[in-house]
Amino acid sequence: MREQSFTHDEMLALSRLRAGFLDGTNAGGAYWQSETDLALYDCTFAERIGWKWDAVLAELTAREWSPRARHLYDFGCGSGVAGRRVFGTWGNMESLSLADVSPLAVRFAEAKARERFPQVQLRSAGETMQPGSLLLVSHVLNELNAAARARLIALARQAEEIIWVEAGTHADSRALIAMREELRGEFTVVAPCTHAEKCGMLSPGNERHWCHHFGHVPSEASQDAHWSQFSRDLGIDLTTLPYSFLVLSRNGGGLAPGATRIIGRPREAKGRMEILSCAAGGVNDLTLQKRDEPVFFKSLQKGRAASVQRWSMEDGKVRVPKNE
């Protein structure tokens, strides 16, 4: 976050931008009116999005997954946070292409990338993508109509690998699931799925669920006066960071069979945890009794349990391996 408080005009600009993101009719980046808009966005909304990217990249790194692609293509780059987070994680990339319907946004993102990574080779992004590219998409889907989504799918088909992060809302997660269904025949699903079958969320009875996860808000943010002002004045809850994501690859790297992913946050009730889980067999509501797995129960309670688990079911009870 920056050094000074936001002025009244700056808060108005942030509020206008937010309305633009939420209002699906304001598509096409028309809300970027000036470089100041992008600078304000970059140290606020984009920084929060950056924390979501941190969570996704940390999971991939923990799984020792890294892209083979050497060219980054950030579609709908805005101020360019996705490209910078990924370049900061895998610095062996040869080039970065920044694409946005707003030329103002592309110029801003390019300048930021150059400032942070002077060695980066910036390419102008066209409709075609450099062979061997890692496509990044971040918080764009709700701004795209059907035709623009179809163009993005066509672009995605040119990619070697894809990392796609969206908001953790029901609508955005469901839209991302639709993209997964379009693409999964051509790619390995690396994450978040533990399988390559049709998404279990699409099975009858699961309409109310959505695939979402929670990132970590840095503790500095909760103590920072400017984040407090941002949160208070815009009515944004800073303590929670839901996101949905999808990682696809043409080079394998999916989870070994048998893994289960915990969706969202388990809900604690008296002596038990209600867990929404996803595995090859589908999406299921499970109940974990504290008395059956006290150590694992505690790690869930403290939010420390990994979201990918290798438990088994015995007589309807969740059993975690001893080292979990």
Residues 48 and 81 sit within 8 Å (Cβ to Cβ): no
Residue closer to ligand SAM by CB (options 76, 192) is 76
Cβ-Cβ contacts under 8 Å for 140 (sequence gap 6 or more): 75, 76, 152, 166
* 77 contributes a contact to ligand SAM by CB under 6 A: yes
Residues 161 and 141 sit within 8 Å (Cβ to Cβ): no
Say what the alpha-carbon torsion angle 145, 147, 148, 154 is, to the nearest 10 degrees: 140
Residues 103-122 that bind ligand SAM (CB under 6 A): 105
* 78 contributes a contact to ligand SAM by CB under 6 A: yes
Residue closer to ligand SAM by CB (options 65, 245) is 245
Write down the least CB distance from residue 132 to ligand SAM, Å.
22
- Kindly indicate which of the ranges 60-68, 117-125, 143-151, 173-181 contains the residues binding ligand SAM, using the contact rule CB under 6 A: 143-151
Taking CB under 6 A as the criterion, the residue among 44, 133, 138, 244 binding ligand SAM is 138
DSSP H helical segments within 25-102, as ranges?
A: 35-42, 45-62, 81-89
* 81 contributes a contact to ligand SAM by CB under 6 A: yes
- Kindly indicate which of the ranges 23-31, 112-120, 156-164, 264-272 contains the residues binding ligand SAM, using the contact rule CB under 6 A: 23-31
Residue 137 in tokens: 């998409």
Distance (Å, rounded) from C-alpha 120 to C-alpha 114? Answer: 6
Count the residues of the shown chain that bind ligand SAM, applying the rule CB under 6 A.
21
Residue 288 in tokens: 């974990």
Residue closer to ligand SAM by CB (options 134, 201) is 134
- Kindly indicate which of the ranges 27-35, 119-127, 246-254, 265-273 contains the residues binding ligand SAM, using the contact rule CB under 6 A: 27-35
* 27 contributes a contact to ligand SAM by CB under 6 A: yes
Distance (Å, rounded) from C-alpha 107 to C-alpha 160? Answer: 26
Residue 102 in tokens: 């707003």
* 21 contributes a contact to ligand SAM by CB under 6 A: yes
